[in-house]
């Protein structure tokens, strides 16, 4: 069984998120999503529209996602890779190179982001309306 791990905030879920999760899942048998907690978002100076519990509920309903785990700090990735016996770590290519330190534990793949959509763009559009 090939296990995939990705991380994110997944707030204001859109088709770009779904496409990323679909492509990540296609690389293996089980997709685990590390979802940023509200407390971790505060440390990152990010504010989500939806609470952690609601974002987790939404992610768990997506057919590509097999398990959602909390992401509570930057340093937990190696531990999660080992704990969940991860074969492939996947992130969007805007993070290219940032997680190469995991290559000694698993394969690291950076997937292209879906063009034309982003949570930042949605928030900007909503503010301008």
46 is catalytic: yes
Active-site residue, selected from the candidate residues 44, 83, 98, 103:
44
Q: 98: helix, coil or strand?
A: coil
Q: Do the beta carbons of residue 46 and residue 39 sit within 8 Å?
A: no
- For the record, the structure tokens of 18 come out as 């779904």
Average pLDDT, the chain: 91
Cα-Cα-Cα-Cα dihedral sign, residues 53, 34, 82, 66: positive
Q: Is the pLDDT of residue 76 over 80?
A: yes
According to the model, what pLDDT value does residue 20 have? 94
pLDDT band at 119 (very low <50, low <70, confident <90, very high): low
β-sheet bridge partners, residue 111:
92
pLDDT band at 125 (very low <50, low <70, confident <90, very high): low
Active-site residue, selected from the candidate residues 25, 46, 56, 123:
46
77 is catalytic: no
β-sheet bridge partners, residue 107:
88
According to the model, what pLDDT value does residue 124 have? 67
According to the model, what pLDDT value does residue 18 have? 93
Which burial class, exposed, middle or buried, applies to 35 when counting CB atoms under 10 A from its CB (0-12, 13-18, 19+)? buried
């Amino acid at each position: 069984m090939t296990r995939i791990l990705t991380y994110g905030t997944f707030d204001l879920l859109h088709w770009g998120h779904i496409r990323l999760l679909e492509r990540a899942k296609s690389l293996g048998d089980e997709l685990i999503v590390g979802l940023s907690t509200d407390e971790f978002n505060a440390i990152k100076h990010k504010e989500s529209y939806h609470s952690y519990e609601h974002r987790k509920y939404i992610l768990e309903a997506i057919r590509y996602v097999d398990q959602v785990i909390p992401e509570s700090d930057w340093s937990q990735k190696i531990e999660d890779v080992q704990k969940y016996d991860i074969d492939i770590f996947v992130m969007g290519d805007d993070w290219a190179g940032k997680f190469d330190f995991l290559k000694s534990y698993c394969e690291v793949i950076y997937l292209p982001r879906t063009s034309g959509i982003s949570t930042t763009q949605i928030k900007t559009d909503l503010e301008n309306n």
